[in-house]
Structure 1
Amino acid sequence: MGRTVSDLASSDRRAFLTATAAAETTAADAPVPGGTPPAPPAPGGAPARPADGTEAARHADRELRELLEEVDPGRIEDTVRRLAAFGTRHTLSSQTDPEHGIGAARDWVHARMKECARASGGRMSVRLQSWIQEPDSLVPTPTRITNVLTTLRGTSAPNRVYVVSGHYDSRACGAAAADGDGPRVDDDASGVAVVMELARVLAVRRTAATVVLAAVAGEAHGLYGASHLAGELKAAGMDVQGVFAVDAVGGGAAGEAGAAEAGGAAGDGARARRAVRLYAQGAPTGGKDDSPSCRLARSVRDAAGDTAEVDVRVVHGDDRDRWAGDHVPFLERGWPAVRFAEPGGNARRPCDVDHTARVARVTAAALWTLAQAPGAPAGVQVRTDELGASAELRWRRGTESGLAGYEVVWRGAAEPEWTHVVEAGDTVQHTVGLSGDDVFFGVRAVGRNGLRSPVALPARPR
C-alpha cells in the first residue's frame, strides 16, 4: 500500500496570451522534448514508421522518459499535506486569514506556481483570474472567486491550447455551509497536486502548443472557476484541443474496498490501486466511441501504455451519475474534454500519494505528447466514387513548422479501435481502395518528431 494522507490531517488571442506573461520568470532555455505513442499496424501487419525516421522517435522517447522520471511523489505528498493544513478551502470561507481558509490556500498555490515559473526563462507565467460571483442558491452574498492560472506559452502553435485543471476549493458537510473544517485531501488536493507537479517539471521545457495549468475554485458551488476559464478562452478565440480535469485521483489506497466499488472481484485490490477512470463523453449520435472526447481518451490510453503504471479505464459518459466535473464547461463549448477520477469516487477517502504520482505521470505523458505533436487535421471530408469501391479523403494542410505529413487510418464498422494506417505524405488528399460503407476513416497529422495528433473524422457530404 502506498503512502497516504488522510482528511483527518490538519479578449482576444493576443490579450489572453499577453495576460499570462505578467509573472516574474528567469531561467535558461531547454531543448525541445517530446514523446511518441505506439502506432497502429499498417496494412499487411507492418508497424507505421515515424515520419522522420527512427532517430527522431528515439529522441522523443528519451525526452519523455526523462520528464516522467522527474515526477516526485514526495513533492506531491508535501502539496497535499499543505493544502489539508489550511483546515478548509470552502469557497465561502475566509479570504483574508493568512493560515486558514480558501484565501490562504489561494495565496500559497499562487506563490508556489510563481516559484516554478522562475525556472522557465520567461516561457511560463502565473496570474490570478478573479471575479465577483453574484448570489445564487449556494452563494448567499456576492463572493470573490479566484483561479490560479499557470501558462506555458507554445513556441510554434501558441493558439492551440491544452488545459489541465484541479479544483483547490473544498467543502464540509454542505456546499452552502462554510463553517467547519473540510480538508478534502482526495477531493481535490490530489488533483491540484498533480497540476502543481506538472508546472514544476514543464517549467524547464518547451512545448509547441500552449499549456494552461489551472487551480480553479468554486467547483462545489457550480463549476464556477472552470466555467469562467472556459469562457475567457472562448472569447479569446483559442483553439482548445484537449482538456483534462484531474479530480479525486488519490484513491489507490482504497484497496479491496475500491476494487469492490469499481466492480472488481475479491482480491483485486492491487489492480484497483493502479486504476483510474477516464470519463469521455460519447457522440450524441452514431458511434458513441468516436466523439472528440473519446478520441482524446484514446491518446491518453496510448500514452498510459508507454508508462505501464496505470490501468486507464475509459468510461463513455460525461461523468458519474449525478456528478459533473470541471471538464463539463469545456464540453459545453464544443471542446474535447475528459475527467480523471478514482474508481469508486469516495471523496472522503485518504489520498495515496504514490497512486497520485502515477496519475500525474500518465497525465504528463498525454499532455506532453499532444502538445509536442501537430494539431489534429481540420476540414476532413470523404467522398466515395459512384461504385463505392474507393474513397477519397481531403483535408486542409496545417501551418505548424513541425508538421511532416499525414496518415489515413481506418477500421471495420464493428471494430472499436483503428486497425490500419497508411502514410499519405505531406499532401491534402489520399484515395483508399475501400468502400466507405464497410469501414470508418480518419486522418491524423504526424510531426517531424514522430508524434501523432488525435484522429480527425471526416464530415460526409450530404
Structure 2
Amino acid sequence: MRLPLILAAGLMAAGVSHAETPAPSNDQPTLRAIAADVDPKALEGTIRALVGFGTRHTLSDVTSDKRGIGAARRWTKARFEAISKDCGGCLTLETPSQTFTGKRAPNGVVVEDVLAVQKGTTDPSRVIIIAGHIDSRVTDVMDFTSDAPGANDDGSGVAAVIEAARVLSKHKFPATLVFAVLSGEEQGLYGGKVLADHAKAQGWKVEADLNNDIIGNSHGQSGVMDNTHVRVFSEGTKAVETPEQANGRRYNGGEVDSPSRNLARYLDGLADRYLTNLDVTMVYRTDRYGRGGDQVPLLEAGYPAVRVTEAVENYDRQHQTLRTENGKAYGDTIEGVDFAYLAQVTRLNAIAMASLASAPPPPSGVKIEGAVSPDTKVSWTPTPGAVGHRVWWRGTTDPTWRFSRWVPGAATTTLKDVVIDDFFFGVSSVSADGWESPVVFPGAAGSFESAAPATAPK
C-alpha cells in the first residue's frame, strides 16, 4: 500500500515550492538563438579544408604547408585566431604537446593539441571542454603516406569544435570554455592524454569534457538511416574510484550515477527541450564495445567526460584505405557526411556548453540520511552563485530523474514519506535567472569534483 502514497507525494512535491519563493523560470531563449546560429555550410567548409590536406596521420609530414598533420594543425590554429579576431581577442590559443613512443609510434612522435580558451567572466577556474581529434588513418594504422581523408573520423568532430567556437565566442559565460582539437587519437589516445595533463598543469576544474568522435554520418552500414538520434556514451562508475569507495557504492548504489552519467542525462534533457528532431540515446558504456576515444584519458584523470557519436555507423568508411571492390567504395570521404545531421549534433554540443557554463557549479557535499525512517533528509554544501537547489529522486530502475522539489536558500530538506531504501537521490544548483547544473548523486560516486586543484586558467 505504500507505493501509491509515495508516488503521490513525489508528484505533489514536484509542483510545490519548498517555501514562498518560487523557482526561477528555466526557459532559456539564449540556447535557441545559439542553436539557430550553427551553420551547416561552415561545417562543410571545415571538413573540405581538412580533407584537402591529403592525410592527417599522426606520423605524417609536419613541415609541409599543404599536406600532413602539421599543415592541418596550423590551419586550425589560424581558424581559431580568425574567430578570436572577430570577438575582440576573446580566445587565447594554447598548443600543449608531449612526445610519445609506443606500439603505433615506435620511433617516437610529438603530439600537439590546438586549444582555444574562452575565459569565464566570473568563475574562470570552472572549465567546460568540447573536443575532436584531427588525425586520420587508413586500414594499416602505420601507413602515414597514403591519402586518409578522415572526413567523418574525425573531421566531423573537429568541424563541430570550430563551429562551436565561432558561435559561442559571440557570447559571454561565467565559466571557461575550451575548444580542443586533438592529435594522436588513432595511435593511442595520445591527444586526450596531452589535454588531461594540460588541464591538471593549468589547475582547471573540469566540469565536463564533450568528446565528439564520428558524428556526421546518418546512413548505417546495414542500410538503416537515422538522422534524428545521437548516442552519448558515459562511464557507469568512476575510473578513479578507490577500493573503499567501490565498496560503499556496491552496497548503497551509484553504479549508474557517475558525474559522466548525469552529464549524459543533462544533454538528453537539453535536446528534448531545445532541439527539434534530435533525441539523445544514452548508452551506459564508456565507449563502443571494444573501442575507445579521447574521453578515456580525461576520465582516468578524474574529470567527467562523455563520448558523442552518431546513431548509426558505416564501418566501410572507417579506418579504410581508399578503394573500390566489387562495386563497393571504401574510405572515409566527404560523401559520407550528412551536414544537416552534423549541424544538429553541433547544436547539441553548443547549447550544452552554454548551459553548463551559465549555470552555477554542481553542488558539493551531497548527503542523504533516513535509515529506519519513513522520511529522507537530503543535504548539501551551499553552492556559490545559486539562489536555490532542486532535489531530485527516482526509482532505482528508472533511467532518468523523475521527481523534484525546489528548495530556495536552504542547504537541506526532508522528503516526507519518501523512503530512502526505495529511491536514488540527487541535487542540482539553480541560479537567479534559472540556469541549472547537472544533478549530483550523493557521495564520492556522484561528485563532480575533479582531481585537479581549482585555480584560475592561466
Question: Under a length normalisation based on structure 2, what TM-score does the superposition of the two structures give?
Answer: 0.83
What is aligned with 2:441? 457
1:52–1:448 contact (8 Å) kept in structure 2: no
Q: Which residue of 1 aligns with 2:135?
A: 169
In the TM superposition, what is the alpha-carbon distance from 1:233 to its structure 2 partner? 1.1
1:279 is aligned to 2:223: no
Q: Matches of 2:13 and 2:420 in 1, distance apart?
A: 21
Identify if the C-alpha distance between structure 1 residues 381 and 155 changes in structure 2 by more than 3 Å, giving closer, same or farther: same
2:376 aligned to which of 369, 391, 404: 391
Runs of 5+ consecutive residues of structure 1 not aligned to the other structure: 1-40, 260-268
The answer on 1:217 being equivalent to 2:217 is no
The correspondence for 1:257, drawn from 216, 222, 244, is 222
Distance 1:132 1:52, change over 3 A: farther
Of 33, 41, 46, the residue aligned with 1:74 is: 41
> TM-score, normalised on structure 1?
0.82
* Mapped partners of 1:341, 1:139: distance in 2: 26
Shift of residue 132, structure 1, vs aligned partner: 2.7
Measure, in 2, the Cα distance between the counterparts of 1:153 and 1:454.
21
Q: Is the contact between residue 128 and residue 207 of structure 2 (CA under 8 Å) also seen in structure 1?
A: yes
Deviation for aligned residue 1:52: 8.6
Q: Which amino acid aligns with 2:382?
A: R
Tell me by how many angstroms 1:384 deviates.
1.7
Match of 1:322 in 2: 290
Whether the 8 Å contact between 1:393 and 1:430 is mirrored in structure 2 is yes
Residue identity matched to 2:41: G
Q: Shift of residue 287 of structure 1?
A: 4.9
Instruction: Please state how far the C-alpha of 1:47 moved relative to its aligned partner.
Output: 4.8
Alpha-carbon contact 1:383-1:460 (below 8 Å) kept: no
Identity of aligned residues (%): 35
Report the CA distance between 1:255 and its aligned residue: 5.8
1:423 alignment partner, one of 378, 403, 406:
406
SS at match of 2:347: helix
Cα distance, 1:257–1:429 mapped onto 2, change above 3 Å = same
Distance 1:455 1:77 in 2: 35
Q: CA deviation at 1:342?
A: 1.8
Q: Distance in 2 between matches of 1:309 and 1:424?
A: 33
Separation in structure 2 between the aligned mates of residue 460 and residue 172 of structure 1, nearest angstrom: 42
Instruction: Name the counterpart of 2:76.
Output: 109
Specify the code of the residue in structure 2 equivalent to 1:332: E
* CA–CA distance in structure 1, aligned partners of residues 443 and 231 of structure 2: 30
CA–CA distance in structure 2, aligned partners of residues 48 and 205 of structure 1: 34
Alpha-carbon distance in structure 2 between the residues aligned to 1:167 and 1:52: 46
Alignment of structure 1 residues 124-203 onto 2, 5 Å: 124-133=91-100, 135-203=101-169
Partner AA of 1:289 in structure 2: V
Q: Does residue 409 of the first structure (1) align with residue 386 of the second (2)? A: no
Q: Which runs of 5+ in 2 are unaligned?
A: 1-8, 239-249, 319-330, 446-458
Question: 2:320 aligned with 1:337, yes or no?
Answer: no
SS in 2 for 1:143: strand
Q: Say which of 225, 230, 241 aligns to 2:207.
A: 241
1:422 aligned partner, one-letter code: R
Is 2:435 the partner of 1:435? no
2:86 is aligned with 1:119: yes
- The question of whether the paired residues in 2 share the 8 Å contact of 1:52 and 1:449 is answered with no
Distance verdict in 2 for CA 1:57–1:409, change over 3 Å: closer
In the aligned structure 2, how far is the partner of 1:437 from the partner of 1:111?
A: 56
Please state whether the residue corresponding to 1:185 is helix, strand or coil.
Answer: coil
Contact 2:429 2:437 in 1 (8 A): yes
Residues 381, 460 of structure 1: 8 Å contact kept: no
Cα separation, partners in 2 of 1:327 and 1:174, compared to 1, 3 Å: same
How many angstroms apart in 2 are the aligned matches of 1:365 and 1:49? 28
Aligned pair in 2 of structure 1 residues 55, 314: CA closer, same or farther (>3 Å)? closer
Residue 167 of structure 2 aligns to which amino acid in structure 1?
V
